Every structure is written in structure tokens, then in C-alpha cells.
Amino acid sequence: MNDFSVEATGLSKYFGDFKAVDNVSLTVPAGSIYGVLGPNGAGKTTSLRMTLGIIDPDEGSSRIFGERPQTVRHRIGYLPEERGLYPGMKAREAIAFMGALRGLDWSEGRRRAATFMTELGLERVIDEKVRKMSKGMAQMIQLIGSIVHAPDLIVLDEPFSGLDPVNQERLEMLVRRERDRGATVLFSTHVMAHAERLCDRLAIIARSQRRFEGTVDEARGLLPMQVRYTPRADSDPASVAALLPTGAEHRGDSWFFPVEDAGVEPLLARITGSGLGVVGLSITRPALHDAFVHIVRQVDAGFEADAGADAVEEALA
């Protein structure tokens, strides 16, 4: 058995002269939940489409379960970013149709559709036409349609957008259940909370390139931990400042500063030995959101610097 469900290497794609995706590689371990994160327009959707063989990359290649994506279509479930269903179809038929496209028998598709819809609280619209449903409901129908054939790889492009919090939670439950069933789940999002709760591994794409690949903890580890320290009220600020790392900010009663993993214990030792007291102390690891923003800002800063340098060069020329 292949250890990786998806192995996309060096994917690049031009739209006209714009390089929408630049040398992006994705390696998704089998049986994991893998997130592709990035700001709007970063190239997530194009990367997923190339990975699935919906569009051809200009450079690079993609393997799914060790084979060309086109040869294993029946083992894949895909929810595209642009949702689409035939409005005239009934929900149950729409799901069975999507299953039939992947080789599932129509009657079995209908049966599973009813089961899934009942589990997700959608039993009252089983025989309702799609055009009569709300956007969120239709999205859930499409989501069920993409997993009704029990695929080995589920690819969801921005699956949470457009869903209310209740349905978002249901979707998270569904994703975990599919992973527990043995499926690999690859999804894109720009909402960090979902990725943080779900992902075993993730990639961050910004400005067409992959900027990070690893676990959620590794992403969060890109930034130092944040410390909030509140000494006794009668402490001399100068003494406190001398105790803490350079750059610690004094706001109100508290001091804020970052600390590396290795610096936590020495810091605690210094504080307890200083005699300044501890009214409050919190050491928190940054959220994925912070890591994401940090990475994207770094990339943007690099781009702006490059653009500035180019402008200077042009001016000099």
C-alpha cells in the first residue's frame, strides 16, 4: 500500500502571462486530513484542480494512489469551490447521480443518500428539488454527493464557506468520520479555526508558491510563545524591564513579550528568583491564525521589497 494518497510535484500553471501556481508540491499521507491554506487568490483551487487532473499543469505532475489522477477517478470524491447541482433534480437523485458518475449503482446511491441525509438532519428535503433549497442545504447535498461512493480520497475546496455554524460543525464531524473510515481528506480553506481543529498536516500557499508544509504544531512553532507577566503592583518598572527580554512591552499592569521554547524555564527561574512577585503569568503558543498571518505578511513584504527594488532599477535604467 502506498504511504501517500497524493503526490503532486512541482505543479505550475500560467493563465496568460500570470503564473497562478508556481512549483507547488503536495504530499498527502494516506488516511490523514490535510489542509491547503492560503489567502484568496493564492492558487489553492488551481493547485487542487491540477492535483486532480481536472486541468493540466504547465509544469509538474500529480499522482494519486501512485497513478495518474484520471485512472483513479472512481476512488476520489470532489467538492469544487464553485458549487453546482442540477436545479431540477431531487436531492436524493442528485446524490445518486454523483455517485453513479463514480461507479456507484443508482439504487445503492439512493439508499445511501437517504441514510446520509437523515444523519445530517436533512431528511425532510430528501425528495425536494434542489432549486427549492437554501444555499447551505444545497451545499450539504453536494457534499454528500461527493462522498456517497465511499471514496478513498476526498478533496474539498473551501467546504466551509457558505455554511452556518451548525452545518460547519456537522461538516467537521463528517470529515473526521471519513478519516476514521480510512479515507484521506484534502481540503482548502482560509479559515484557520477549521484547519487547526481538523488537520493532521497542512500546506500554506501564498503568492502562488507553497510557503510552509508540516503539522499544525510545526506551523504554530514558527512563532515564539507569547508571555503575559503581571508583577506585584509595587514593583519598580525599571527592575522588571531589566529582568525581561529586550523589547518587552509594558501595557497597564502587565508586560508582554515573546519567548522561545528553550527560554521558558530560564525565564520562570528568573521571575521567581527576582522577588518581583507573580500576580499573573500566561505563556501561550500562537494560534495557527498567527502563524498564517506571519507567513503571508513575510511573503507580502518580500514581494513589496522586490517590487521596490525593481522600481529603483527601472528608474536608474
Partner 1 sequence: MTPFLRNMFVIARRDFLAIVATPTFLLFLLAPLFMIAMGLAGGMGASQLADSARGAGRIVAIVEAADIEALRAADDRLRPAFSRGDAPPPLEFRINSPATPDPVAIAREKGTDTYAVLSGPFDSPRIVERNAEGSAGRYLALLANQVLRDRAAGDVAPATPRFESVRNGGSSIALQQSLGFGAVFVIFLLTLLLAGQTVSSLAEEKGNKVIEILAAAVPLESVFLGKLLGFLGVAVLFIVFWLAMAMVGGFVAMVQMDPTTLATTQNANKATAALGAMPATGWGFFLGIGFVYFILSFLLLGAVFLGVGAQAATVREIQMLSLPITIFQVGMFSLSAAAASAPGSSLAAFAQVFPFSSPLAMAARAATDDNIAVHFLALGWQAIWVALVIFLSVRLFRSGVLGGGRGWKFWRRKTRAAQATEPR
Residues that bind partner 1 (CB under 8 A): 13-15, 49-50, 52, 54-56, 58-59, 70, 73-74, 76, 78, 80, 82-89, 97-98, 100-103, 142, 145
Eight-class DSSP state of 252? T
DSSP string, 205-233: EETTEEEEEE-HHHHHTTSPEEEEEE--T
By beta-carbon proximity to partner 1, the closer residue of 97 and 257 is 97
CA distance 76 to 185: 10
**Alpha carbon of residue 151 to chain centroid:** 20
| H or E element at residue 109 | helix 106-119
Minimum CB distance to partner 1 smaller for 92 or for 220: 92
C-beta of 100: minimal distance to partner 1 in Å? 5
Least distance from C-beta 114 to partner 1, angstroms?
19
Comparison of 38 and 57: residue with beta carbon closer to partner 1: 57
Q: Residue 43 region, left (φ>0) first, then alpha (ψ -120 to 50), else beta?
A: left
Nearer to partner 1, 59 or 108 (CB): 59
Contacts of 39 (CB under 8 A, 6+ apart): 190, 206, 296
Among 202, 116, 188, 119, which residue's Cα sits nearest to residue 156?
188
Minimal distance in Å, beta carbon 294 to partner 1?
A: 27
56 vs 260, which CB is nearer to partner 1? 56
CB of 24 to partner 1, least distance (A): 15
Helix (H, G, I), strand (E, B) or coil at 37: strand
CB of 290 to partner 1, least distance (A): 33
